[in-house]
Amino acid sequence: MSVFKQHGVTIGLVCVTLLALLFAYQGRTGAKNALLELEHISLALTGRIADLDALIEMQGYQIRSLREEGFIEGDSFPAHAETVSRATVIIIDEGSDIGSGFFIDSGGVIVTAAHVIDAAGDGFQVQTYDGRTFAGKTIAKDSSVDIALVRIAGEDFPSVALGYFQNIEIGEEIGIAGFNRGLSRILVHRGVVSSKDEEGGTKQISINAFVNKGNSGGPIFSALTGRVIGMVQARQIDIPSEKLIILPPNYSSGFAIGGLDPVKFNVELYNETVALVGDVSQVGIGFGVASEHIRALEQKIK
């Protein structure tokens, strides 16, 4: 849960108190001016909290330096992996798992990839870490950055805290959580940030981690702070054509065993094997969109 959520009640109480004072001072005729002043104060407080939240995250990176220098012992990754895993969900369509997601709000708001929701259509379900299944409903989507927000009924779901693009460091350790297709349990993999780029207003990160087909929409979290710094969008699966055997268009062996051409059969078997091996060998290259875009979409539903 973000600092915005943790301090939402406090901000609300402060604003209500200020509103009451302004009304008492100015009377009914000053109500409009009082509301405008209140809005200005609320925006100022929200901006200050965002700055504070980013600063708190930065302190976590300073802790890493202390750990590397031997002043602090222990590896925080297992604890962070456990926390993020409990907030991770699987998106199910017609009984088949098609992607992952994660809670950003204890009230049931989930982030996943827009292409996962597009593939699911209406009537998809969400399975939580503890095995419960809920009907999912898309409440917001931004296909330009491949992010969708889903809501399920319920309260007190485990949620994650979001990180900041400005604090991501090239080479820093990260983890990803998600469901591999065909498996009902969550998998966590460790890797590093390979690059971070901002192009056309989109903040993206490249990661070197074991990204598989079911990770789309899953969280990318900092091994140091435990904050989710992005969402998995895709993985690189291109297979060089020179690895494949291409038979001539006019190929004809004129020889068959039991109606099966052994040459053609072995070529097809080889190509399928290369495709499978190539698919597995490149699961370590993944791409994600930064958490700033998640925050931006979340603000639109408030």
What is the rounded average pLDDT of the residues 127-147? 95
Banded model confidence at residue 26, pLDDT cuts 50, 70, 90: low
Question: pLDDT tens digits, residue range 192-238?
Answer: 999 999 988 999 999 988 787 788 999 999 998 999 999 998 755 44
Residues 277-298 as b or e (16 or more Cβ within 10 Å = b):
eeeeeebbbbbbbbbbbbeebb
What is the rounded average pLDDT of the residues 249-272? 65
Q: Give the model's pLDDT for residue 3.
A: 45
Amino acid identity for residue 235 in this structure:
R
Question: Which of 203, 196, 199 shows the shortest CA–CA distance to 293?
Answer: 203
148 CB contacts (<8 Å, ≥6 apart)? 111, 112, 113, 114, 116, 117, 138, 140, 141, 142, 217
Q: Give the model's pLDDT for residue 4.
A: 45
- Give 253's Cβ-side CA count (13 Å radius): 13
Q: Is the pLDDT of residue 71 over 70?
A: no
pLDDT greater at residue 247 or residue 128:
128
Q: Where are the domains of the chain?
A: 3-68, 77-151, 241-280
Banded model confidence at residue 149, pLDDT cuts 50, 70, 90: very high
Q: Is the pLDDT of residue 145 over 90?
A: yes
Q: What DSSP string runs through 34-93?
A: HHHHHHHHHHHHHHHHHHHHHHHHHHHHHHHHHHHTTSS-S--HHHHHHHHHHTEEEEEE
Banded model confidence at residue 65, pLDDT cuts 50, 70, 90: low
Number of neighbours of residue 149 by Cβ within 10 angstroms: 24
Q: Give the model's pLDDT for residue 123.
A: 83
Banded model confidence at residue 247, pLDDT cuts 50, 70, 90: low
Which residue bears the tokens 């001539």? 248
Banded model confidence at residue 185, pLDDT cuts 50, 70, 90: confident
Q: Is the pLDDT of residue 277 over 50?
A: no
- Can you read off the two tokens belonging to residue 57? 């995250």
Task: Give the CATH number of domain 77-151; options: 2.40.10.120, 3.40.50.2300, 3.40.50.720, 3.40.50.2030.
Answer: 2.40.10.120
Question: In angstroms, rounded to a whole number, what is the distance separating the alpha carbons of residues 103 and 126?
Answer: 11
